Structure 1
Amino acid sequence: MELPKLKNIYICFPGGRHKVLTMSFDDGRLEDRRLVELFNRYGVRGTFNLNAGLLWEDRVPPSEWRELYRGHEVACHTCLHPTIARSPIDQVARQILEDRLGLESVMGYPVRGLAYPNGSWTPEIAAMLPSLGIRYARVVGDTHDFAIPNDFMTWKSTCHHTHQLLEDGKRFAALFKTQYLYMMYVWGHSFEFTCEDDWAQMERFCDMVAGKDDTWYATNIQIVDYLEDARRLQFTVAADMVHNPAAQSVWIEVDGDRLEIPGGATVRL
């Protein structure tokens, strides 16, 4: 009996793309208004990590959250922004859950992401997060590369927006090998654009990387959800059929051909 032909099958991002850009900004400072306007103008998407218990004058008020961050993601940054590695573990849980409660009551959807406050975390905290409804958590630091993380509970960005942003952006825009999935992840604080007087640099970056046919512009949680759904695809051994048990479409490449596998569908390859 002749064996079925072996095929090269790759997971793609939506639309058959092989690159994704995402942003992550903390603290919900008033400068988020200008940053969101900039992102919206260029079609860039990102995640904004807010503290539900710190409603100070220099921060965007809850009355604006739903409209301002529409099309982006709001995620946790703990309720009061403590250095949680020094805190009792039960109080860390409460900081996260109370932040979720406050954010969800305004945003109207489950809040499932976290940026560790002050970059503070421990393996014990990271292990606890799924039981608190958290699907990913961002640490501080830069990788200056474009790899997909192995552990989304210790997700490290490509760069802070003051650390080689344009240089990394130029390298990301030039990537072309479609056998890899690439991700550029930028993090920071919007108030730093005012402190460092570098709003123009972020606009140059957006102009450089936006509007590319090979790039998906996504929030943090969209990336996590999509890759989780991609891992759930069910292939026959002969790779002549695939079933997608998820609700959203997942894209794959089969011997160079890019295919959309709709949610709930079984597709012949």
Structure 2
Amino acid sequence: MTPNVADPVYLNGRYLPLAEAGVSPLDRGFLFGDGVYEVIPVYSRRPFRLDEHLQRLAATLAGVRLADPLLVDGWRDIVFRLIAAAPWEDQSIYLQVTRGVDDKRDHPFPPASVSPTVFAFASPLVTAPAELRVTGVAAITVPDLRWSRCDLKVISLLANVLARQQAVDQGCAEALLIRDGTLKEGTASNIFVVKNGVLLAPPKTQLMLPGITYDVILELAAAHHQAVAVREIAEAELRAADEIWMASSTKEVLAITTLDGQAVGNGRPGPLGERMWQWYQDFKTTVMRKT
């Protein structure tokens, strides 16, 4: 066990200490990044929208032509056993499937006799500290150089890693990805824009990962009669925004108050973002911790 990974972890049908878990260097996840993953937030030991997360995992597996190694009940059993064994009330469950271990390095799929590698573990779910909510965070924009199936949650994340490190190198929290003059998402978050009281959200396409938190925010906006437009957001609109937020299960709703060194709006978290954050906290208390 480490401060960030609980014992036991799950690996290919076994629950064992992290220190004893090992994967062959010929695993295609290691050699090619040939695999998929899913991350499930857990509140008060209750996984949030587990069915939706497992549906997204199944869709990604199908998208990369990797047979699902487990039935839904099998995935659910792994998730609940890891939750029960971990010491934290709020957690993040990580699931990963690779195409398995071949006897050589070769691009085509291995024989059907090669079993996928399945790995899963629990980590603490750590949200943004209060001081960041007060000030907001800085972000940069970068060209979106990823492939064209960003809707698939695959482990081949080098383009995201490089973009995020570019942000870190400049003292920023996130890099916003721009493709063909429009905003897509962050490297590890969905991005929302507010202009003239309207909440703008990029549409779900193959160029954006369909985030579960993204869905929650749009549902909360509808429940509170907040005006929303789901459409492509031009880079010029992004730069002229009154508010910009990043959203994920760990960031929840976090204001971006500086973009490429320029203040967003008045340089402080905006009123709609503050309301959405409170709606999200209320939802977390009344729904996420009770379902």
Q: If the TM-score is normalised by the length of the shorter chain, which range does it land in?
A: under 0.3
Question: More relative contact order in 1 or in 2 (CA 8 Å, sep 6+)?
Answer: 1
More helix by share: 1
TM-score (norm. length: structure 1): 0.25
The TM-score normalised by the length of structure 2 is: 0.24
